[in-house]
Amino acid sequence: MKNYCRDVACIVPTVFNNILLQKGLVIKSTGSRYRVLYGEGKIIDCTIKGKFRVRELRTTNPVAVGDNIIFEFEKSNTSGIITEVLDRKNYILRRSSNLSKEAQIIAANIDQVFLMITIIYPETPVEFIDRFLVTAEAYRVPAFIIINKTDIYGDEETSRMTNLISMYSKIGYGCFRLSVKNGSGIDTLKEKMKDRISLISGNSGVGKSTFLNLLNPSLRLKTEEISDYHKQGKHVTTFPEMHQMPFGGFIIDTPGIKGFGVVDLERNEIYHFFPEIFRISKDCRFYNCLHVDEPDCAVRAAVESLQIDPLRYRSYINIIEDENRKYR
Ligand SMILES: Nc1nc2c(ncn2[C@@H]2O[C@H](COP(=O)(O)OP(=O)(O)O)[C@@H](O)[C@H]2O)c(=O)[nH]1
Ligand SMILES: [Mg+2]
Ligand SMILES: [Zn+2]
């Protein structure tokens, strides 16, 4: 039991105006109630008092998992009131709904994000991976790819996996092969996640819950959740949960959350979030080149010569076109 609010001295409570103020870490949120970890592994349920706002941002939830907060005990001492949210090092958002300008904070103070994918059962499209990576880049959170279910891959799937790993490693994204089923690759990931706050995402069915259960058997998360599937498309408000790991650190699970919308991603800066495209874009003739049909575009030349993978370029174009649609 250590390291759970790293920068915050959780252990030492302060007395201010005769009120005992305590620092804590939000590990679960249901929208109005928050589960807070404080002291040496103690847990208390809290509500909030006052208004907490993220500057220049309309959020539907003032407090999210991963937040470091200050709370005071209610008279009974069995529950608490959050009075302050400490500065966030980062946070990940999604739009509350397609039409809304309001955003939900999914989680705060994340050290790293992992996208779990599978080559088959289900197949994860490259564009889905790229949208995730773009979001991580926009938030400046280090991103990694976990390829699960390696136990069922034959020659063809293994070769597709190897190609993906080679494509993403070349760009600079760390990739991990995993079989939750036979345990291969698990120790490397434990080492990577130890003492950090990690967020895991991925399509339904890739094995996230099974993975978390293996890392922390006391979680007993439901696997093969059909309900997740039915939630897709509907805007059901789900709140992610932060799970404590016995080897140190936390993993945030995002059930029912399909994608993280980057609020107000500018169309002309999307290529900044494709590191290999961004690097080459410096050689384009026009400083404001979008790499679509401009003359003397270094990016398109690099796609022709396969220096940039055409699959990645296609993801880029599709994301741009989506943004175009929004502005029409
Ligand atoms: N063959 C194989 N099946 C797996 C592996 N990991 C998970 N599964 C299976 O994949 C299905 C979906 O797993 P689940 O953890 O519910 O996926 P989630 O939707 O991402 O949480 C379950 O039937 C798991 O038993 C693996 O490494 N190999
Ligand atoms: Mg699940
Ligand atoms: Zn260009």
Question: pLDDT 10s digit of each residue in the chain, 328 long?
Answer: 333 444 444 445 677 667 788 999 999 998 789 999 999 899 999 999 876 666 666 777 889 999 999 999 988 888 999 999 999 999 888 876 666 677 888 899 999 999 999 999 999 999 999 999 999 999 899 999 999 999 999 999 999 999 999 999 999 999 999 999 999 999 999 999 999 999 999 998 999 999 999 999 999 988 875 444 444 444 455 778 899 999 999 999 987 666 665 556 788 899 999 999 999 999 999 999 999 999 999 999 999 999 999 999 999 999 998 877 766 6
Centroid of ligand 2 to alpha carbon of 116 (angstroms): 11
Which ligand 1 atom sits closest to the C-alpha of 223?
Answer: 16
- Is the pTM above the cut of 0.85? yes
Q: Is 199 in the same domain as 170?
A: yes
Ligand nearest 119 Cα, by number? 1
- State whether 224 and 299 are in the same domain: no
Residues 100 and 147 in one domain: yes
Count CB atoms within 10 A of the CB of residue 248: 15
Distance between Cα 308 and ligand 3 center (Å): 12
- For residue 97, the model assigns a pLDDT of 65
Do residues 72 and 102 share a domain?
A: no
Instruction: Answer with the one of 66, 88, 110 that is the final residue of a domain.
Output: 88
Question: Minimum-distance ligand to the CA of 298?
Answer: 3
164 located within any domain: yes
* Contacts of 194 by beta carbon, 8 Å cutoff, 6+ apart: 245, 247, 248, 249
Angle in degrees, CA 129, 145, 118, rounded to 5: 70
Q: Is residue 111 part of a domain?
A: yes
- CB atoms < 10 A from the CB of 168, how many? 22
Q: Which atom of ligand 1 is nearest to the CA of 116?
A: 20
Structure tokens at 12: 């030492």
Give yes or no: residues 200 and 111 share one domain: yes
Ligand nearest to the CA of 300: 3
Residue 172 Cα to ligand 2 middle (Å) = 28
Comparing CA positions, the residue from 193, 35, 199, 185 lying closest to residue 110 is: 199
The CA 220 to ligand 1 mean position distance, Å, reads 14
Co-location of 271 and 148 in the same domain: no
Distance in angstroms (rounded) separating the CA atoms of residues 96 and 237: 8
4 part of a folded domain: no
Q: Do 97 and 243 reside in the same domain of the chain?
A: yes
Q: Residue 275 burial by CB count (10 A; 0-12/13-18/19+): exposed, middle or buried?
A: middle
- From 117, 224, 227, mutation site for ligand 1 pocket: most ligand atoms within 8 A of C-beta: 224
Residue nearest to atom 6 of ligand 1 (CA): 207
| Token pair listed for 107 | 């989680």
The rounded Cα 73 to chain-centroid distance in angstroms is 31
Kindly give the distance from the C-alpha atom of residue 60 to the centroid of ligand 2, in angstroms, as a whole number.
Answer: 24
* 258 within some domain: no
Please count the structural domains in the chain.
Answer: 3
Please tell me the distance between residue 167's alpha carbon and the centre of ligand 2 in angstroms: 27
CATH number at residue 287: 1.10.40.50
* Cα(204) to centroid(ligand 2), Å: 6
CATH of the domain at 75: 2.40.50.140
Structural domain contains residue 22: yes
Output the CA–CA distances (angstroms, integers) from residue 24 to 45, 64, 74, in the order listed. Answer: 11, 12, 15
Probe ligand 1: pick from 180, 186, 221, max atoms within 8 Å of CB? 180
d(CA 150, CA 145): 14
Position 1 in a domain: no
Looking at the fold, whether 124 and 241 belong to one and the same domain comes out as: yes
Query: In whole angstroms, what is the distance from residue 85 CA to residue 64 CA?
Result: 10
Does residue 218 form part of some domain? yes
Query: Is there a single domain that holds both residue 96 and residue 137?
Result: yes
Check which CATH number belongs to the domain holding 215 and give it: 3.40.50.300
Q: In the prediction, which pLDDT does 7 show?
A: 43
Output the furthest CA–CA distance in the chain (Å, rounded).
71
Residues 156, 135 share a domain: yes
What residues make up the domain containing 249?
92-253
Picking from 223, 253, 283, the residue at the C-terminal end of a domain is 253
Amino acid at 56: E
H/E element, 251: strand 250-253
Question: Residues with Cβ within 5 Å of ion ligand 3?
Answer: 284, 289, 291, 297, 299
Question: What is the Cα–Cα distance from 143 to 113, expressed in whole angstroms?
Answer: 5
Assess if residue 42 is contained within a domain. yes
Domain match, 192 and 70 both: no
User: What residues line ligand 1, using a CB cutoff of 6 Å?
Assistant: 148-149, 151-152, 179-181, 202, 204-210, 223-225, 228
Q: Exposed (0-12), middle (13-18) or buried (19+): which is 1, by Cβ within 10 Å?
A: exposed
Domain boundary among 192, 218, 253: 253
Same domain for 153 and 40, yes or no, is no
pLDDT at 154: 98
